[in-house]
Amino acid sequence: AAGDRLYYVTPYIEGETLRERIDRERHLALEDALRLAREIASALGYAHHRGLVHRDVKPENILLSDGMALVADFGIARATNVSHERRHTTAGTAIGTPPYMAPEQITGSPELDCRADLYSLGCVLFEMLAGAPPFTGPDESLAYQHLSVTPRAVSELRPGLPARVSATVAKALAKSPADRYATAARFAEALATALVDAPETAVTERSRRPPNNLPAERTSFVGRERELAECERLFEDTRLLTLTGMGGCGKTRLALKLAEKWLDQQPDGVWFVDLAPLTDESRVAETIAVALGVQEHAASSLESLRLHVRGKRLVVVLDNCEHLLSACATAVNALLDAESVVRVLATSRESLGVTGERLFAVRPLEVPPTGAAGDATRVESSEAVRLFVERAGLAQPGFTVTTQNAEALGEICRRLDGIPLAIELAAARIRILSVDQIRARLDDRFRLLTGSSRTALPRHQTLQATIQWSYDQLSADEQRLFRGLAVFAGGWTLAGAAQVAGDGRDEFQVIDLLARLVDKSLVIVEREHDGEPRYRMLETVRQYGQERLIESGEAEAPRHRHLGEFLALAEHAYAERYLREGRWTSRLELENGNFRAALAHARGTDAERYLALAGALAWYWLGLSHLHEGREHLTAAIASANPEPPRPARARALVGAGNILAWQGEAKAGLPWMEEAIRIWRALGDAREAGLAIETLGWAQFTASDDLAARATFEECLRIQRESGDPILVNRARVGLAQVLTALHEIGRVRPMAREIIAFSASTEDARSEHLGWHFLADAALIEGKCEESLGHYQRSLELARQTGDRVETSFEIQGIGMSLAGLGHAAAAMRLAAAARAEWDRVGADLHVRFWDELMDQYFGRARKELGPAPAQTEWERGARIPFDEAVTIALAASAGPQGADPASG
């Protein structure tokens, strides 16, 4: 070091880079790839031990000389033992090469350590083995993928790769540094072990395999990498592992794949026993004996089994045990009690109930997130879509995911719950239907999804038949509860089950019946963050239950109770909406499916309760930008219910409907509704609600560009709320007034008022009002041309807006960040963010035009368009419109005033 400046001296090396070798060979031999990775890890460990983090590990920076790997280019390395003040990189600045950057590099974390280099090395090793890094695409997409997308298993891209190698790579690529190898030495040790365990050749491996009767795979095994690894771990620690799950969820394929992995450890073989065709329990032991090749003895089949397996080391796979539980349990006990090392891998829709049994619940396949929409890369990365594409390719060779069909494919897989059987049946329809035609027919999925293999048992040939099989195994009481629970959409609590579907049973009786439905894989139990269990059915199972409920003639009573349950919840949330907004927003979002079901029932049967429920949910629809849905229900409820007498339900609905109209650019049309609501609240003597309605009226006037009327209304509202003595409502009125003052450019009043809003809102954990306080400070800075200051304030506001779940408000902040970047000279980045925000508005149905905001956007985005020119500006706009919204948020938060602008992953 010279003074305070660090510098490094490196020798001249002759040879080639790893990039050149990968470009030439594409896939490196397994032994070479693991050896090179160990050498790179060793070099990094040397640097880490001396307090250096490289931060740019990539094939271009790996030199190969005389067959050995050397790490070069420490040009952006950081000394981890240099004090924060002396670091050459500012926190929040991302440096590195996008395809190889660790998540914490992308976010500019100040706590970067050696594990970031190990993540990058994992990317390099992945590329050596698979021919490409784990993530590809433009820089914005790479940043999002590194932060949020689980990479495909490298073994999936390079079949035959040992599981330990794939697991080593996966651990290095963990999103959280805490889940990676702690040091380069640990990584190198894992690589050495993987190298020792790697087979010499696939042919040699196959030739040494023990005897078995595992059926040959006729189609590829798709996904399930995490589940397979977890099952391997569990099976090492137990002699009986049962894979449970509903019919069609892929238990058999997972079991066969797991069994295949155990072949090399079982000198006496791995034996598959298909119990599905069997109906006579007395023949279970005999069927197992035949599969194992047991010679006939005078003894019973069970005793013959014991004699046959004595002293042997083998695995028995018992498939489809659920209809023969007692006999299977007896046979398994006999196998495990023998003087041998026998392991049993079972598949069943419920537990065998044998001592020492470990259970693994096989869930449906991972489906693409709703926000993926038409992003073909994100949609195709999900397990469910990969299965659909693979099976559709059998029916229509060359079938692939495209930007045109990605959205429909994602929706099909989501609506089919990721159930492998359902997806395979849907994919088979590609022979005669388009993807859009399949999607359009999913409401009648049980008729659509037929036509499986003719050699399969009837209960495996259609989606309906596989669920019917499980339903037929239930007792009458279990069937009745199952039908009643089908009225819930999206899940329920234990109390909800007893109230809505209990039919007068006490809570303990409901617990017993519900536990049996969970055991039989018809109901899924999940733990919420507070530890309370929550239950749900897959939508496909729920639709089957709905059909049985209607068929039974019992539907009216549980639907009526369900409506009452969720109306009470909505009204409770409405009463506390400003005291615990975040908590209630999360709870109502969790129950969104149930609210939709209750609204659908009330709409056709009970106009008054329909009005009450819609009015109580209006604030929630607004807060989470469900504008289309809210407008539809509120206007329909107002029209269907009697306007007299004046009552709270009508006033709530009127205010909510008027507010939504304002957000959709029709504020003037909603003003009469708001004025009527104010009259109702005053007639009822409710000053608090009257003040809140006046606040909403001020907002509508503001969005209608009547700024002076809005200021007068908000000043009246502030006076009323001060008289009420409620500081939370005073703060809300202050927010409204600050908004209008900003539009009127009264900056001298805005700044102190905004700081007051921020301080109070932070103390009451009111993220919505706090984000608006920061927004007003940002607006004030932007109006004055202080774009670097406005950028920081908008980013703080965006962080808070994201917490509220309000996508329209979040889009405002993205627009503000875009304008700030435009003012700082980052025209292309500004146009992309502007387009991403506009696309989200279009998606949720917002069409808000606030005059002063439109003027600011014309000023700043107009400057960006002029700087770029018409054609490049349009190109950047179209590019931005394709960015998924969550990814746009990530990009906006990572934007900086420096030369990288809104491309945090570049450099």
3-class secondary structure per residue, 282-296:
HHHHHHHHHHHCCCC
Class of domain 474-554: mainly alpha
Report the pLDDT averaged over residues 120-127: 96
Report the pLDDT averaged over residues 242-264: 86
Q: Which two tokens stand for residue 374?
A: 């038409």
pLDDT digits (tens, 9 = 90+) for 271-330: 888 887 777 888 888 888 877 877 655 456 788 888 888 888 889 999 989 888 899 999
Residue 372: burial class (beta carbons within 10 Å; 0-12, 13-18, 19+): buried
pLDDT of residue 627: 87
Report the pLDDT averaged over residues 108-135: 91
Statement: residue 53 has pLDDT above 80: yes
894 and 904 in contact (C-beta within 8 Å)? yes
pLDDT of residue 874: 95
- In this structure, what are the phi and psi dihedrals at residue 707, rounded to the nearest 5 degrees? -65, -40
Mean pLDDT for all residues in the chain? 85
pLDDT of residue 301: 74
Please tell me the total number of residues recorded for the chain in this structure.
907
pLDDT digits (tens, 9 = 90+) for 351-402: 998 999 999 988 888 888 876 666 777 788 888 888 888 888 877 888 888 8
pLDDT of residue 667: 87
Class of domain 562-725: mainly alpha
- Write the DSSP symbol of residue 344: E
Statement: residue 84 has pLDDT above 50: no
Give the rounded percent of residues in the chain with a pLDDT score beyond 90. Answer: 40
Question: What does DSSP say about strands 313-319 and 341-348: parallel, antiparallel, or unpaired?
Answer: parallel
- CATH number given to 767-894: 1.25.40
The full set of domain ranges for the chain reads 16-202, 225-361, 370-463, 474-554, 562-725, 767-894
pLDDT of residue 457: 46
pLDDT of residue 2: 44
Residue 52 forms beta bridges with which residues? Answer: 79
Check: CATH 3.30.1490.100 for 225-361? no
pLDDT of residue 202: 36
Pairwise pLDDT comparison (135 vs 202), residue with the higher score = 135
Q: Which two tokens stand for residue 885?
A: 């919204």
Report the pLDDT averaged over residues 81-98: 50
Report the pLDDT averaged over residues 650-667: 92
Closest CA to 74 of 48, 92, 109, 98: 48
Statement: residue 901 has pLDDT above 50: yes
- Write the DSSP symbol of residue 215: P
Output Rg (C-alpha) for the chain, integer angstroms: 31
pLDDT digits (tens, 9 = 90+) for 221-245: 777 888 888 898 898 888 999 999 8
Phi-psi region of 356 (alpha: psi -120 to 50; beta: other; left: phi over 0): left
pLDDT digits (tens, 9 = 90+) for 820-829: 999 999 999 9
Measured distance CA(464)–CA(702) in Å, rounded? 54
Which of helix, strand or coil describes residue 64? Answer: strand
- Helix, strand, coil percentages, rounded to 5, for the chain: 65, 5, 30
Measured distance CA(461)–CA(465) in Å, rounded? 7
pLDDT of residue 13: 56
pLDDT digits (tens, 9 = 90+) for 727-773: 988 999 999 999 999 999 999 999 999 999 999 999 988 888 999 99
Element spanning 588, H or E: helix 581-590
pLDDT of residue 576: 87
pLDDT of residue 216: 65
CATH topology of domain 16-202: Transferase(Phosphotransferase); domain 1 (1.10.510)
pLDDT of residue 676: 95
Amino acid letter, residue 542? R
Element spanning 63, H or E: strand 62-65
Cβ neighbours of residue 53 under 8 Å, at least 6 residues apart? 47, 77, 78, 80, 112, 113, 114, 116, 117
pLDDT of residue 455: 43
Q: Fold identical between 16-202 and 225-361?
A: no
Amino acid letter, residue 429? R
pLDDT of residue 218: 62
pLDDT digits (tens, 9 = 90+) for 464-515: 777 887 888 889 999 999 999 999 998 999 999 999 998 888 888 999 999 9
pLDDT of residue 638: 96
